Amino acid sequence: MKNLKPDAVFDRITSIKNEFFDEHQIKGVLLDIDNTLIDMSKLLSDDIIEWVKDVKNHGIKVLILSNTNKKDKLDPISKKLEIDYVSFAKKPAKSGYIRASKLLDLPCENIAMIGDQVLTDALGANRVGMFSIYVKPINKKEYWYTAWKRPIESLILKHFGY
């Protein structure tokens, strides 16, 4: 059960400050895409674009880690944010996280995974020793394959006092 506990919880990705990363020796950040960076209409807000730019300017390496293999979804976001991505990560399997760690050229303990799902993002990060950060979904509307997990994740978060 401890692998399901996020190391930190925030309302939005933009609430996470660079000082928080410094405090936890985070040198690299992996970002989930759906409902963390974009909503179902694929809208990437200006405040998230600015947040990523600020994090990069602070010297933190940033990479998208996504289960999707749809380049038509990933490429525009990757270009707008000027960061690379690992697609078809198979989260919570360890392989995608390890590939991302190698791409960032950082050990797992210096990387944070930020995402809106406990059962994929947090679980996978915890399994490889990364710092896991759960952020609340951008929008309540979501894909069916995520929606069914929300009541379970809600119980898990409540169990850990979040």
Reading phi first (left if > 0) and then psi (alpha if -120 to 50, else beta), residue 67 is in alpha
Q: What is the pTM of this model?
A: 0.90
Q: Binning pLDDT at 50, 70 and 90, where does residue 147 land?
A: low
> How would DSSP label each residue in 88-110?
S--TTSHHHHHHHHHHHT--GGG
Percent of the chain exceeding pLDDT 70 equals 92
Assign 142 a pLDDT band (cuts: 50, 70, 90): low
For the stretch 30-72, pLDDT in tens is 999 988 999 877 889 999 999 999 999 999 999 999 999 999 9
Residue 50: give the domain boundaries: 2-159
Residue 144: pLDDT over 70: no
Please list the alpha-helical segments (H only) found in the chain.
Answer: 18-23, 46-57, 71-81, 94-104, 123-128, 144-147, 150-159
Count structural domains, the chain. Answer: 1
Q: Please, which residues bridge with residue 146 across strands?
A: none
- Report yes or no: 30 and 100 within 8 Å, Cβ to Cβ: yes
Contact indicator for 26, 110 with CB cutoff of 8 Å: yes
Give the pLDDT band (50/70/90) at residue 152: confident
Q: What is the pLDDT of residues 94-112, one digit of tens each?
A: 999 999 999 999 999 999 9
Q: Which of the 8 DSSP states describes residue 36?
A: T
Token pair listed for 91? 């989260």
Query: CATH number, domain at 20?
Result: 3.40.50.1000
pLDDT score, position 141: 65
Specify the amino acid at residue 34.
Answer: D
* Residue 134, Cβ density class (10 Å: 0-12 exposed, 13-18 middle, ≥19 buried): buried
**Residue linked to tokens 């490889």:** 128
